[in-house]
Structures are given as C-alpha cells and as structure tokens.
Structure 1
Amino acid sequence: MTTETEDWRRPGPTPEQRRFDVYAGLAATVLALFSLTLARSTGAFLLGPPPSGPEQVFWTVAVTLPLIWRRRFPATVTLVISAAFIAAQARSAPETQLSGWALFAAIYTLGAWGRDRRLSKRLRMGVIATMFVWLGVYYATTIGSIPPDAFARAVGPVPPVLAAIVSGVLVNGLYFGFAYFFGETAWLAARRQHELADQAEQLRRSQAEVREHAVVGERVRIARELHDVVAHHVSVMGVQASAARRVLDKDPVKARTALGAIEETARTAVDELRRMLGVLRARDARPDGVEPADPAGIDQVAAVVDRAREAGLRATLGVYGDRVPLPDSVSQAAYRVAQEAVTNTLKHATGATVLDVRIRYLAHEVEVDVTDDGRATRPANADGLGLIGMRERVATHGGALEVGPRPGGGWRARARFPLPVPAERPA
C-alpha cells in the first residue's frame, strides 16, 4: 500500500446521504420507542427492575437519535451512542433490540466513514474493549443474584454459569467483529472506487494528451510536406526565371528553354500539391487510418538532379553499391532529404556551379550525400524549417545527419538511414 493510499481520506457524505441519515435516524428512534412499548407491555425486563417511564424513553432516544448525524460526525456519534448504551443497560432500560442495532450501526459507520483511519481504528477498538469490560462487570455483579433454581432444567455437560458466560462472550464477539469487519470492507470499497475514478481520470488526460500530440505531429508533418514540395520547386523556378531574364535579349532560345522549364516545374509543383492534399483527404476518409503510399521515393532523386541541372548547375548523380529494396518510409525520407539539400544549394549557396549527389548502398545503411562548391549564406546550425524537417525525417528512422561547410570549400548535407537486416542474411 502506497503512502498516498494510506493518507487518503474518504470525502464526507453528500447532501442526499445526509438527508437519508436524518430519515433513517428518525425511523430508528420511532421503532425503538415502539420496541420499548412492546417490552413494557410484555413485562420482559431482562436487565432487572426498570427505571421510570420518562427515563426509559430518554435512554431509548439517546441511543438511537444520534444516528441522524452518523456519517457527518462518525467518531462523536459512536462515542455518544456507546456511552448511552452502557448507561441504559446500567439503569436496566428494557429496550435492548433497536439499541443494539444502533450501536452496531455506529461502529460500522465509524469504520466506513472515519476520515482519520488511525483515530477510527483506535476508537472502535476502545469502544469494543469497553463493551467487553462492561460485559465482565455485568456478569460479575449479577452472578450472585441468580436464583438457585434458574438452571434447574440444565442438562448439558458444561456448567450453566460458564455456558451462559461463554455464550454471551461468543455472541458479543461476533456482533462487534462483524461491525468492525463490515466497516473496514465499506471503507476499502470506497477507496478502490476512488482509485478507479482517479485512474479513469488519468487515462482520460493521457488520451487527451495523445490526441493533442497526434494533432501537433500531423501539423508538423503537413508543414514539412508543404515546405519540401513548395520550397524546392519555387527555388528552381526563381533560378530559372533569373536566368531567363538575363538572356532574354541576348539569346531568346535559352530564354524560351528557361521559361519552358519554369512552366514544367510549376506544373510539377501543382501536381505534388494535389497529390499531398489527396493523401490527406484519403487518410481522413479511410476508417482504418492507413495512410496511402507517397509516390515520392529514392528513385525520383534523378528528377531532382535534372531540375537542378536545368537551373544552370553542373549537377551529377552517382549511385554506388548494390541496390536493395527500401521500406517506403525510408525511401521517401531519403528522397526528401536529397530534395531539401538541392533546394538549399539553389537558395543559399552563393556562386555555386557544381552539385554532386551521391547515393550509397552500404552493408547496413543507405547514405544520401549532397555537396556543392558554393559559399553558404547561413550558418550550419540555423533553425530553418528545411533543416528541421531533414533532422526530423532522419531521426524518425534512427539515422544520422551531417550538415555544414566542407573543409575544402562548399557545403555538404549527408544523411544515413539504417537498413533492416533480412532474416536470412547475417548481420
């Protein structure tokens, strides 16, 4: 049991429970008065000569009426009822049946609703011990007044007086034991209900956080896709438009070629945007939540290099090693990294003329290496969306990313993605 569970205190009764206690306490008092009337009518004064009628009513009410506050003040009610019960028996009040149940309810309620568990246990044990002491005093004071012929018909092997004492102790032991046990059981049930409610609330908060993280992740993914699709093609179109402007008067043929490239790049950008929006709509529409495959993959890196070449760079693509099938997610991530690296060369590499893109299929990973000979106009640790997207894509697959200036000049972006090892091939 944890410290938090041990320190838990049961909340007080609700207004509805308080009203029920009032009605139940009043009903118990009325029934006790009716039981007193029957006892007086039968003349069954088991405890001896009774006191006056008003005193009998007083003790009957004193034992049962405090039940209307039993869940609001369980400790006080238990002490009051216990003291009134002993006093009533000491005064030989004839009503014992409803009074006994009132004492049982008080001890039970203290166990079930006592907010301070240590105090509750000590009070109940003290009350029970006091009751057994009173039982011993009662037996000690009444044994001498038992008539000689009281056990004339006794036939059992146990001496009559001893049998009466053992029977009384046994009955009272069961009586108080059940009151204590049921009170503990009710308190434990309330505590478990509280724990279940607390766990349900924690689960609800956790689910809300998961949904919030999912929404944030989806926004990041959409932002990354938009950046990868738009930035690359717009950068290529910007470079080609600048070239067309410079050669428009001197070489109309080259200008028309550049304009044609701009038109083709714009069309490609629109197609990719439509594809991406289609993917998002299809994902929302599918009940299983499976995302359609993205056609962009490592095999399309050649098209990226071609667009860089059309933009005026001496771009080359080299593929080294034995090609192996890549998971769709790794293939797409490698393509986006190469695309973003080429875009950064077009946008930020001042004076770049050479672009070298290399794809290496190694033993346990695939590597995308993009270098240029330009002068970078932004630091390597910049927090641009492009670099953030590259890092996120690589980190998602447990890879490594190196971005920064090369020792001999120029810029390098190199990403490594680990490859799954087939079961039939040793690592």
Structure 2
Amino acid sequence: MTRASVDSEPVWQQWRRPLPTPRQRRHDVWSALAVLAGAEFTLLLVNSMGLLAFGDAPSLGEQLLLGAAVTAPLAVRRRYPLAVLAAVSALFIFVQARQIGDNLVPSIALFMAIYTVGAWERNRTAARWARIAVIVVMFCWLGFGILRLLLGSTHEEPPSAPGPLDPIVSAVLYDVVFNLVFFLSAYFFGEVGWLSARRRAELEHRAEQLRLSQEENTRGAIVAERVRIARDLHDVVAHHVSVMGIQAGAARRVLDTDPELARTALDTVERTARTAIDELRGLLGVLRAEPGSEESAGGADDTSHTASPGLADLPELVEHTRSAGLEATFAVYGEPYPVSDGVALTVYRVVQEALTNVVKHAAARSVDVRLRYLDGGLEVEITDDGRGPSGPGRKPGSGLGLLGMRERVAVHGGELETGARRTGGYRVRARFPRFPEQSGG
C-alpha cells in the first residue's frame, strides 16, 4: 500500500455523504406517491376479494388512512432518514395491531426506511444502532404475535397437512426465516449503498486530483519549454550580436583612415549576421517540427547550420572570436569518442556563452578553449586573461548566461565550475560523465 493511500484512508473512513440534491428530493416525493398509490390500490383489491391478512379488519376508510400514513413519511426519507425510520416503524406496528387488510405495502415501506438509514444517514454510529434497534423491536413484535398465535390455537385442532413437520412449528419457522432474510437484506443493501457512494466520491476526488496534477504537469512543461527556448535564443543571438557590435565599432573607427580594414570588419559583420540567421532558422525549424520528424532529428553531422551545432563546429566558433580582436586558441586532448547529440550541443552552447562573456565583459586579450576526452567523461574548459567576474572596469551582465549554462549541463548529469583564476582571468569548466554507449571508438 502506498503512502498516499495510507494517508487518505482515515479521511475516507470519516467521509460524510452529502445531503440529497433537489432532484433526489423530488424523486423521493414521487417514490412515496407511487408506494402510497400502491398501498391504496392493494387495500381496495384485498377488501374487495375478502382476502384480509388477519381475518378481521377495521373499516375500509380507516385502512386507507392507515395505508397512507405508513407510506407518507417516505417523501422525506433521504433528508431525514432516522426520523422516517422511527415513524414508519411505529406506524408499521400500529397498522398490524389494527389488523388492516394488507401487510405487503407496509413491509415495503419499512424495508425502504431501513435501507435509507443505512445508505444515507451521515452519522454512521446512529445509523447502525438505529437499524439494530428497529430489527430487535420488530422481532420482539414478531415473537409477541407468534405467542399470541400459539395461545389462541390451544383449543383448536390444527389443520391436516401432507408435510412432515408440525403445522404450528412450520408456521413459526417460516415467519422467523422470512423476517430474518427481510431485515438482514434491508441492512445489507443499505450498507452497500453507503459504501458505493463513498467509493464513487473517492474515485471522483482522485480523478479531480489527477486532472489537477496533469494541469500542473502541463504548466510545468510549458514553463520548461519557454525556458529552453529563451536559453536557445540567448545562446544563438548573444554571441553573434556581440561579435557584430565589436566589428561594427572597429569599422566605424577606421572607416576614414583605413578603408580596407573597415571593409574586412564589415565583411565579418555580414558573415556573422548570416550565421546568426541560419542558426535562428534552424532553431525555429526544430521548434516547429513534430517529434520524430527528420527536421527535428538533425544531428551534429549536418554542417549546414540548419540543424543543431556540435563539437565539429567549435573551431569555427573560436575563429569568429578571433575576428573580434582576441587571441583565441582551440585544442583537443585525448582520443575522441562519440558523444550524444545533446551533449555535443550543450558543449557548443557552453563554449559559445563563455566566449560571448569574454567578448562583452572581460576586456581580455586572449582566450583559450580546450576540449578533453577523458576516461571518466568529456570536459571543456574556457579560460581568459581578463579582469574576472568583478574586476575593475568589467561590465556587469544579467547572469542569465551562467544560469543557462548550468541548466544545460545539469540536464546531462554534468557539473559546471565557474570562477576567477589565481593567476588572473576567469575560468569556465564543464564536465559530462561518460555513459556506456560512449565507450566505442
């Protein structure tokens, strides 16, 4: 049994059935009218045939009045179950004491009253003991009737019957067994009605909780997708815009004195803009594509930049940084082995964001990018000789880049280290564990 079911069980043990709805109350009124009509019709037929249940009976008018009285409380049986049970039980004994012509419909009314207390009474202790008390009283009344029958038949010869049992004993056994089945059935079906209603309410509650949980998961997925899109847009745009800004500034400063250098800088701006547009187009294509489609399944082997970039694109990325005026170096250490497309893209984005920060904020002269294929996993390290994260003259950033890097690395179970170096400058280092599928050459 789960912890949730254990925690919720006492709550459902104390569940109280809601009060009847207006529609259910109207249904009770119509049911009572139907039983009342049946009682009146049965009394008319029985009196017309002369088949009276007890031999003698009061006047027809009194019988009709008593038949209406014993069935009328059923109109409010689900609203006031205990009161209806008490009223119907007392009237049932009274109409039998008056020996009206029919006993069937009053028995039906008593059955419905006992059932309703079991199925609808909100106080379960009162419901249990009220039904037990009524059943005990009814059996006492049955015993009184049997005793009266036995005493009344002492001077009469019992009728002859072909059965093996004594007629008096058979009549007593018949009454006891019939009443036992009658009252136990009313008690049992009332209890089943209550448990069924409680189970239905529990299922509805769990269905509602499941719906709310699904809505919460959907909202979480939407938020996560928005964060991912924002992170990808930041990674794609920030680096290229930074390079374009630096090159455009350089072109403006040397436009009059060195047109050739200005033209070279503007060429770099143009190429960088095209690269940014290509990457944005590829990103939008992935976002629009259905899962599993060819467009969304592009890997690192696609060098057209319409798919996600990977490790093979790192040299070009570093080369773009050189065009911003930095001394940028790139080196690979260890024997290369295959890595997943997701890890390759994350490595690329980490390097891209780190280089963007160097260009925009560090005021560095050189930057070094190292990719290491280690036995325990893949490691990428970017170091610069700038002013550090809080050095004098360093331009403040929004912090979203580092947050995005950390989130990307965490998705693949990796670790990200960022901080100033003791010899000056800043270091970004990301490590990714090596999974079994990466053990091949």
The residue type paired with residue 336 of structure 1 is: R
SS at match of 1:417: strand
Deviation string 1:62-114 (CA, Å, 9 cap, x unpaired) is 21111111122222111110111012112222221111111111111222222
Could you say what secondary structure the match of 1:403 adopts? strand
Q: Distance in 1 between matches of 2:235 and 2:115?
A: 70
Q: Does 1:393 align with 2:398?
A: no
Deviation at 1:52, TM superposition (A): 4.3
Note if 1:15 corresponds to 2:22: yes
Equivalent of residue 332 in structure 1, options 328, 331, 345: 345
Match of 2:83 in 1: 76
Task: Return the letter of the residue paired with 1:189.
Answer: S
1:103 paired to 2:110: yes
Percentage of pairs with the same residue: 50
Aligned residues: 422
CA distance in 1: counterparts of 2:294 and 2:100, whole angstroms: 76
SS of residue matched to 1:133: helix
Shift of 1:374: 0.1
Task: Indicate conservation of the 8 Å contact 1:282/1:292, yes or no.
Answer: no
Secondary structure of 1:375's match? coil
Contact 2:53 2:100 in 1 (8 A): no
Q: Kindly indicate whether the alpha-carbon contact (under 8 Å) linking 1:81 and 1:103 is maintained by their aligned counterparts in 2.
A: yes
- Structure-2 separation of matches of 1:290 and 1:309: 32
Mapped to 2, the partners of 1:94 and 1:348 lie a distance apart of: 104
Q: CA deviation at 1:40?
A: 2.6
The TM-score normalised by the length of structure 1 is: 0.92
SS in 2 for 1:220: helix
2:180 aligned residue (173, 178, 198): 173
Distance 1:150 1:253, change over 3 A: farther
CA distance in 2 between partners of 1:333 and 1:287 (Å)? 20
Specify the alignment match of 1:65 in structure 2.
72
Which of residues 409, 423, 427 is equivalent to 1:408? Answer: 423
Cα offsets for 1:338-386 (capped at 9, x unmatched): 1001101111102x11101011111121111000000035499986211
Match of 1:224 in 2: 231
Select 2:249's aligned residue among 242, 266, 284. 242
CA-based RMSD of the aligned residues comes to: 2.4
Q: What is residue 317 of structure 2 aligned with on the other side? A: 304
Structural mapping, 1:138-153, within 5 Å = 138-146=145-153, 148-149=155-156, 151-153=158-160
**Alpha-carbon distance between aligned partners in 1 of 2:361 and 2:157, rounded to the nearest angstrom:** 115
Partner of 1:365: 377
Q: Which residue of 1 aligns with 2:329?
A: 316
CA drift of 1:33 comes to 1.6
Q: Matches of 2:102 and 2:150 in 1, distance apart?
A: 22
Following superposition, the deviation at residue 149 of structure 1 comes to 4.0
- 8 A contact 2:268–2:323 mirrored in 1: yes
Aligned to 1:121: 128
Aligned with 1:344 (options 349, 357, 366)? 357
Q: Secondary structure at the match of 1:376?
A: coil
Q: Summarize the Cα distance change of 1:147–1:69 in structure 2 as closer, same or farther, 3 Å threshold.
A: same
Contact 1:318 1:359 in 2 (8 A): yes
TM-score by length of 2: 0.89
User: Offset at 1:226?
Assistant: 0.8
Unaligned segments of structure 2, at least 5 residues: 1-5, 299-306
| Structure 2 counterpart of 1:254 | 261
Contact 1:348 1:378 in 2 (8 A): no
Cα drift, residue 401 of structure 1: 0.5
Structure 1, 48-57 or 29-38: larger mean CA deviation: 48-57
Q: What is the aligned counterpart of 2:365 among 353, 356, 361? A: 353
- Structure 2 SS opposite 1:357: strand
Equivalent AA in structure 1 for residue 224 of structure 2: G
Inter-partner Cα distance in structure 2 for 1:378 and 1:259:
32
What is the CA distance between 1:157 and its match in structure 2?
A: 4.0
Checking the alignment, whether the CA contact within 8 Å between 1:29 and 1:61 is kept in structure 2 is yes
Residue identity matched to 2:296: E
How far 1:234 moved relative to its partner? 0.7
The one-letter code matched in structure 2 to 1:82 is: S
Instruction: Specify which of 41, 48, 53 is matched with residue 41 of structure 1.
Output: 48
CA distance in 2, matches of 1:421, 1:382: 38
Letter in 2 for 1:399: G
1:151 is paired with a residue of what secondary structure?
coil
Q: Pick from 158, 161, 164: which aligns with 2:168?
A: 161
| One-letter identity of the residue aligned with 1:335 | Y
113 and 394 in structure 1: CA distance in 2 versus 1, 3 angstrom threshold: same
Structure 1 residues 8, 411: CA separation in 2 closer, same or farther (over 3 Å shift)? Answer: same
Give the whole-Å Cα distance in 2 for the aligned partners of 1:247 and 1:404.
Answer: 36
- Between the aligned partners of 1:280 and 1:242, the Cα distance in structure 2 is 34
Decide whether the 8 Å contact of 1:364 with 1:421 is kept in 2: no
Unpaired stretches in structure 1, ≥5 consecutive residues:
none
The Cα offsets for residues 132-186 of structure 1, whole Å up to 9 and x where unpaired, read as: 1211122223310125445231454434333222211100011111111222222
- Whether contact under 8 Å (2:389, 2:426) holds in the other structure is no
| Alpha-carbon distance in structure 2 between the residues aligned to 1:318 and 1:102 | 93
Q: Residue 137 of structure 1 aligns to a residue in which SS?
A: helix
My pick for the range that moved more, 40-49 or 305-314, is 40-49
